[in-house]
Amino acid sequence: MKADETLDCIGLYCPMPIVKTAQKMREMQPGQVLEVLADDKGIKSDMPAWAEKTGNEFLGIEEDGPEIKVYVKKK
């Protein structure tokens, strides 16, 4: 999936990927897509939850071995 920005959260655990996503999204423009790289499995449930709560759009997950790529679009 194509993204405007990438946030590397490899090696970080809850809640840091979510905290960093929220910080990064604040700098982005509406309509832009953020790709978050993570390896803490919790993100697969947490990112859709974060998107639902904040009104941003959760686009999907791509898994490549232990690496998880999560995509969210800024509302």
Partner 1 sequence: MAEEDSVTIVVFSGELDRALAAFNIANTGASMGMKVNMFFTFWGLAVVSKGSLDRGKKSLPQWMMGLMRRGGAKHLRLSQMDMFGGGRAMMKSLMKQYKMPTLEESISLAREQGVRFLACTTSMALMGLEESDFIDEVDEFVGAATYLLLASNGKVNLFI
Kindly tell me which residue out of 1, 4, 6, 16 binds partner 1, with binding defined by CB under 8 A: 16
Contact range with partner 1 by CB under 8 A, out of 18-26, 29-37, 62-70: 18-26
Mapping DSSP onto H, E and C, the string for the chain reads: CCCCEEEEECCCCCCHHHHHHHHHHHHCCCCCEEEEEECCCCHHHHHHHHHHHHCCEEEEEEEECCEEEEEEECC
Q: Residue 53 CB, nearest distance to partner 1 (Å)?
A: 4
Q: Looking at 14, 16, 19, 22, which residue is catalytic? A: 14
Q: Which residue number, 2 or 45, has a Cβ lying nearer to partner 1?
A: 45
Please say if 14 is a catalytic residue.
Answer: yes
The residues annotated as belonging to the active site are 14
